[in-house]
């Protein structure tokens, strides 16, 4: 594959690389990262995405890119709806609206140190985690249909949060256009008992401390300063979202012949946005997105309750306010400037974070001057980051990286962890970890991921997001 260096942080795969590519591929990476990317099949997927009908600008990949289903994880692509643009379930992935929320507290690291194990054990025992875990917050099928439309608002109405939480959630926790009739009975069955559950794999709840502030003025707007304790929650749409992707990615293969679409990988099966098939998928996908926002709202409620019990403090004294919640896997209909003209696009972000610049009309009033908070989790042994969106992110449809990005497959990580106690290794660093799955800690060991510090440095230096502060893990629960 040919890589043309654009600058220190961007590389081009020219559309001449493969007959049928409609646009170039552009990968955000530095010299060191591009060497790892060369050896990964994900770069080929960047080129394959460039075949999609209606694609505009480029097929983008963030520095946390790694191989995925159809699209690479870390992939961003937008299609022009009026020019036959398509939506592809592979451009969203199986964990629809896998995303992250960051919660501030009034606690300092010194307040937490003596009670850290009690806090981690309390979270572990009160937040259901793991494959197929069933939640404390149970709902009937009729209520579940309401939840799929109302998202976080449904949860808040039940007493598990407040309006302020909705104000600081992307789409206020419910994207419009959700269609419960487009969700299969099997998807309903899989999602029925999983509201308020963390899930497995890389999903986590992490107690952190702000250990470095890059932009004190912006950090202050978010209510953060060095030494302050935060809580990060990373989860998605659980079995419901997985089943929706499975249903539609399989069924949409028929659309390739029906609409005369040629792509080099069946995992890129897609349909024109205006088609019945695409509208059905978007309606179901939005249901899963709303389910995920509701799920993270439930998880935050459960976590707040544990903090109150462990520290014997009320909500006001704890100050557990939501900074922001943002999706990492979603397709959204957005207006963007393309060559001086406003176009209505279907923006696929798969393992990528929306990063609106200061002044964007969709931002809460509090964040109009700062830009959108961008939450970037790292691995459980290093750091996570809070960034903001920038005007430079207009190039990538206001998108940036979403995390560290895997270096090892799960099976390779398990093999590398044989004979080791990842838990003990982390505890030597002062990080208390609990996991429900026996092999989860090996799958999620720090070495299985790229260094998030390097990933964030690329997007910061490339100008598509800006560092605000860095958080270090204190305690982690994994599914």
Calculate the alpha carbon distances from 206 to 346, 392, 475 in Å: 33, 30, 6
Alpha carbon distance 367, 363 (integer Å): 6
Q: What is the DSSP letter of 343?
A: E
Would you state the structure tokens that stand for residue 401, as one six-digit string? Answer: 């990286």
Alpha carbon distance 479, 467 (integer Å): 29
| Buried-exposed string 334-354: b where 16+ CB fall within 10 A, e elsewhere | bebeeeeeebebbbbbbbbbb
Give the number of C-alpha atoms closer than 13 A to the C-alpha of residue 347, restricted to the C-beta side: 26
DSSP reduced 3-state for 239: helix
Phi, psi dihedrals of residue 111, rounded to the nearest 5°: -70, -30
What is the DSSP track for 206-225? EEEEEEEES-HHHHHHTT--
Alpha carbon distance 380, 113 (integer Å): 18
Cβ atoms of 287 and 178 within 8 Å: the answer is yes
The answer to whether the Cα torsion of 326, 328, 334, 338 is positive or negative is positive
The answer to whether the Cα torsion of 212, 100, 460, 43 is positive or negative is positive
Alpha carbon distance 347, 173 (integer Å): 18
Active site residues: 402
Cβ atoms of 183 and 425 within 8 Å: the answer is no
Alpha carbon distance 27, 64 (integer Å): 10
Alpha carbon distance 170, 425 (integer Å): 36
Give the number of C-alpha atoms closer than 13 A to the C-alpha of residue 437, restricted to the C-beta side: 21
Q: Where are the alpha helices (DSSP H) in 151-252?
A: 152-157, 163-167, 185-191, 216-221, 238-251
Alpha carbon distance 288, 285 (integer Å): 5
DSSP reduced 3-state for 326: strand
Helix axes 238-251, 276-311, angle to 10 degrees: 170
């Amino acid at each position: 594959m040919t890589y043309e260096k654009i600058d220190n942080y961007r590389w081009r795969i020219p559309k001449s690389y493969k007959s049928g590519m409609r646009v170039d591929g552009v990968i955000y990476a530095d010299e060191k990262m591009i060497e790892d990317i060369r050896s990964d099949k994900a770069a080929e997927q960047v080129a394959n995405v460039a075949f999609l009908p209606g694609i505009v600008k480029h097929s983008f990949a963030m520095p946390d890119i790694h191989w995925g289903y159809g699209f690479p994880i870390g992939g961003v692509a937008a299609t022009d709806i009026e020019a036959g643009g398509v939506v592809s379930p592979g451009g969203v992935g199986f964990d629809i609206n896998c995303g992250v929320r960051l919660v501030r507290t009034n606690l300092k690291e010194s307040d937490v140190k003596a009670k850290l194990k009690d806090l981690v054990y309390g979270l572990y025992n009160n937040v259901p985690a793991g494959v197929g875990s069933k939640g404390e917050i149970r709902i009937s099928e009729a209520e579940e249909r309401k939840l799929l439309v109302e998202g976080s608002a449904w949860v808040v109405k039940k007493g598990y949060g407040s309006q302020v939480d909705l104000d600081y959630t992307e789409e206020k926790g419910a994207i419009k256009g959700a269609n419960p009739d487009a969700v299969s009975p099997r998807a309903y069955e899989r999602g029925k008992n999983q509201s308020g559950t963390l899930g497995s794999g890389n999903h986590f709840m992490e107690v952190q401390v702000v250990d470095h502030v890059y932009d004190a003025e912006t950090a202050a707007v978010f209510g953060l300063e060095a030494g302050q304790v935060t809580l990060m929650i990373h989860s998605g749409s659980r079995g419901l979202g997985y089943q929706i992707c499975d249903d539609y990615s399989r069924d949409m293969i028929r659309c390739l012949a029906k609409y005369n679409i040629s792509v080099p990988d069946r995992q890129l099966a897609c349909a024109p946005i205006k088609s019945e098939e695409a509208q059905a998928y978007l309606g179901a996908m939005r249901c899963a997105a709303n389910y995920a926002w509701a799920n993270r709202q439930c998880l935050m409620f459960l976590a707040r309750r544990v903090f109150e019990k462990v520290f014997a403090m009320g909500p006001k004294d704890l100050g557990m306010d939501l900074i922001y919640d943002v999706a990492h896997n979603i397709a959204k209909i957005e207006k963007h400037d393309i060559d001086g003209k406003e176009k209505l696009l279907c923006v696929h972000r798969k393992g990528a974070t929306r990063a609106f610049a200061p002044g964007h009309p969709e931002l809460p009033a509090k964040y109009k001057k700062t830009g959108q908070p961008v939450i970037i989790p790292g691995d459980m042994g290093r750091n996570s980051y809070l960034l903001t969106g920038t005007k430079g992110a207009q190039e990538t449809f206001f998108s940036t990286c979403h995390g560290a990005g895997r270096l090892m497959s799960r099976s390779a990580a398990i093999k590398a962890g044989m004979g080791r106690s990842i838990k003990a290794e982390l505890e030597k660093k002062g990080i208390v970890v609990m996991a429900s799955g026996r092999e989860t800690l090996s799958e999620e060991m720090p070495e299985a991921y790229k260094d998030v510090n390097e990933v964030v440095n690329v997007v910061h230096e490339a100008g598509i997001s800006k560092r605000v502060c860095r958080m270090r893990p204190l305690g982690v629960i994994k599914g």
